[in-house]
């Protein structure tokens, strides 16, 4: 009986921790998504799942369709004419539990900061976060699912998502 109670508590604690991690990012999105000055994109897993109905012409197309079908969500929040992009960047970073994410890359120049973070477990990437804060821009994106960084870069080209093309320069850090 004691053993079952302990196992139940461990499972419940794990569930609460996972939910809390997602809640931080969700709260950040919720805080700004109704502000009409921001552009909001939210693509559900069901939409990504629809890609399994398509057939690719080339092996690369089939590979990309397979990668897309493994995604369960994409959220983007962006604003181009913001005066506090650096402040929003710092705020977004502050809500992300740093011990749960690995940093892939940071780019900083005179007017912009960019950071890529991943959540990885057992060699599989389950979330990719990209945050950009600049003098007059802010962008945050969260991709959830079974993520292949090389395919995400191809997807970014197809969807014309600036910044994700930088993933071409990364070596797969999961191997």
* CA–CA gap between residue 16 and residue 151 (Å, rounded): 31
Binning pLDDT at 50, 70 and 90, where does residue 7 land?
very low
| Domain membership flag for residue 150 | yes
pLDDT of res. 50: 81
pLDDT of res. 117: 92
| Domain membership flag for residue 43 | yes
| Domain membership flag for residue 156 | yes
pLDDT of res. 76: 92
| Domain membership flag for residue 142 | yes
Mean pLDDT of 38-63: 83
| Domain membership flag for residue 175 | no
Domain count, the chain: 1
Residue 132: domain span: 2-169
User: In the chain, count of helices (H) and strands (E)?
Assistant: 5, 6
Q: Is the pLDDT of residue 170 over 60?
A: no
Q: What is the DSSP letter of 84?
A: -
pLDDT of res. 161: 66
Model pTM?
Answer: 0.76
- Count other Cβ atoms within 10 Å, centred on residue 66: 14
| Domain membership flag for residue 132 | yes
Query: How crowded is the C-beta side of 161, counted as CA atoms within 13 Å?
Result: 25
Averaged pLDDT of the chain: 78
């Amino acid at each position: 009986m004691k053993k079952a109670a302990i196992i139940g508590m461990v499972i419940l604690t794990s569930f609460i921790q996972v939910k809390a991690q997602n809640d931080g990012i969700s709260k950040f999105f919720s805080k700004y998504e109704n502000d009409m000055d921001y552009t909001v994109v939210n693509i559900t897993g069901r939409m990504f799942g629809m890609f399994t109905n398509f057939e690719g012409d080339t092996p690369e197309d089939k590979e990309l369709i397979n990668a897309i079908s493994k995604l369960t969500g994409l959220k983007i929040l962006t604003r181009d004419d913001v005066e506090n992009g650096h402040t929003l960047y710092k705020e977004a970073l502050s809500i992300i539990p740093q011990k749960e994410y690995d940093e892939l890359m940071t780019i900083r120049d005179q007017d912009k900061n960019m950071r890529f973070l991943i959540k990885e477990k057992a060699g599989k990437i389950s979330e990719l976060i990209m945050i950009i804060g600049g003098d007059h821009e802010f962008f945050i994106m969260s991709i959830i699912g079974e993520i292949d960084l090389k395919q995400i870069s191809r997807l970014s080209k197809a969807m014309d998502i600036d910044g994700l093309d930088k993933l071409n320069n990364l070596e797969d850090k999961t191997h």
